[in-house]
Amino acid sequence: MRNNFTSSIDLLRDLNDHIENAEPFSNIRLGDGCSLTILHYLYIEKLRELCRRNGLNLFKYTVKLKKVLKKKRYGRYSDEEFKKICRRVITHSNKSNYIDRLDSFYEYTNYGMDEKNVEMIIVNNWKEVWAQIGITNENYCSMFANLYSIIKDEYNIFDVAKGRDVFCISNEPVGVEKFSKFSGAKKVDSHILPKSHYDQPLHFKKVCKIIKSNASKYDLFIVGAGFLGKIYLGLIKQNGGRGFDGGRCFNIWADGGFRPRKIIADGIFEVDEKTKMMYRRIKK
C-alpha cells in the first residue's frame, strides 16, 4: 500500500514547504462518499455492476441515495449541472498534490472489510473505481489525513498555521472561532457556509469569487465544505494559494472532542482533554 503513499505528517511538512516557498498546493480527499456521488451521477451502470458482482441489490439503496443526494444535499442543481460539478471535481483531483488512496481506510483495522454495503464495495475495488472515474493522480495520502493532522505531540496543522494568515471555509462558525483562538495563527478570516448542504450551492459562486481574488493573499486555506469543497481546493491551487482538505476538523473543534469513525478512535487515539481540539495517540 505504501508505493507513492505519503504519510500525513510528511504531507503537512510538504504543505509547510509550499507555504514557505509561496508555491501553490492542494490535497483532495474523495473518500468513499465523494466517490459514490461521482459514480452515481456519471457512471451509474458501473456502480450497478460492482454491486451485482459483490452480491448487493442496489435497488433499495438507489432510492435512498437519490433522496439524500438530490433532495437533501444537491437538489438545487439539475442532474446535468451536477454532472458538470462532478467532472470539475475529477479535474481538480488529478491536479492536486495528493489524493487519498481508499484502501488507507484499513490503515489501522480490517473493520468493515467484509461488509456488504456500497461504500465498502467502493473501498475494496478502489483501483477499478478510480480507472472508471478517470483518476490518474498517483500521489497518494490517507483518507483520514485531516484527522491525523490534529494529533498532539506530532507535527500537526496547528504547527503549519502558527504565525500565518489563514482563511477558513466551513459551515461550523464555532469550529472556526476555536481554531482562531487556539491555533496560534497570526490572522484567521473565514467564509461561513449554511449548515444545510442543500443551501450551500447558494454560496458557490461567491466562494469561488473570494478564492480567485484572495488565494495568494493568505498563507493557507483550510476547507471543510463537502463535495463542493473539492472544487474550492482546486481553485485555491489554480490561483496560486495553498489549500488543505480539513473535512470534519471544524466539526471536531466545534464539538469539543467529536469522535471520528469508531475504527479510527477506538484503541488508537483519544481526545486530548486539555484542549479538546486534538487527539493523542495512545498506541502505534
**Is residue 171 within 8 Å of residue 131, measured between CB atoms?**
no
pLDDT grade, residue 1 (50/70/90)? very low
Q: Give the rounded percent of residues in the chain with a pLDDT score beyond 70.
A: 84
Beta bridge partners of 189: 167
Cα distances (Å, whole numbers) of residue 205 to 24, 89, 149, 232: 21, 15, 29, 10
Show the domains of the chain with their CATH numbers: 31-142 (no CATH), 150-281 (3.40.50)
pLDDT grade, residue 77 (50/70/90)? confident
Q: What is the pLDDT, as a whole number, of residue 281?
A: 72
Distance CA(226)–CA(6), nearest Å, equals 23
Average pLDDT over residues 153-170: 96
Question: Which tens digits make up the pLDDT trace of 222-270?
Answer: 999 999 999 999 999 999 999 999 998 998 888 765 555 544 445 566 6
- Look at 33 and 69; give whichever has higher pLDDT: 33
Gyration radius of the chain's alpha carbons: 18
